[in-house]
Structure 1
Amino acid sequence: MQAGKQLFDAIYARLFEQDRLVELGLMMNAPALTYRGRAFAFLTKDDRMVFRLEDYRPEPDSVRMQPTALAGWFAVSPYESHHWESLVWKSLELVRDHLG
């Protein structure tokens, strides 16, 4: 989990520089990114990043996103961690739009 957590922390730092309403929190006892108290991404114990992307579908073949038991949430493996940051930004955009 070390490499995944380091990347998670680096992504958080860049998000926080741009938007002070982004904070660290917990989702299912895992480190999470929140906006105005609402989780929009979290890191699992097996280094998968899970994103709230209810109304978003990436281009076919761009990234493998696995549906989770949570409706509208998708997991991306650490092998595709190069996609994490762009998906975090998309997830943040969606939660901002939802909260208004």
Structure 2
Amino acid sequence: MKELNLPEDFQLQDIKSEPITKAQIEEMRALTDSYESLFSKRARLYKELGLKEKSLTEDDYKHYILDHYTFLKRPVLLLNNQIFIGNSKKTVEAAKQALNEQ
């Protein structure tokens, strides 16, 4: 997040204290190819709940993300009808470029 140098008026949401809503997850889903792309398989609960051994559906991914914040891959940046998910180098560079084009 620090690497992005977000404008001061950029709205950040701490999903630990202000969980994402059904409308927000559906908005994010509309900008990407699946709920799975928003889902973090690195979450501690993913292993603890044995989800790795299960075949999860899109509804399952949505349910788990809404159920516990750790299942949302972070950070998620919504910018001009674009979505940037995670912190891979490629994603961060694309987000930087989009921010610079504003």
Q: Which has the larger radius of gyration?
A: 2
Larger helix percent: 2
The structure whose residues are more often strand, as a share, is: 1
Query: Quick check: TM above 0.5?
Result: no
TM-score normalised to structure 1 length: 0.31
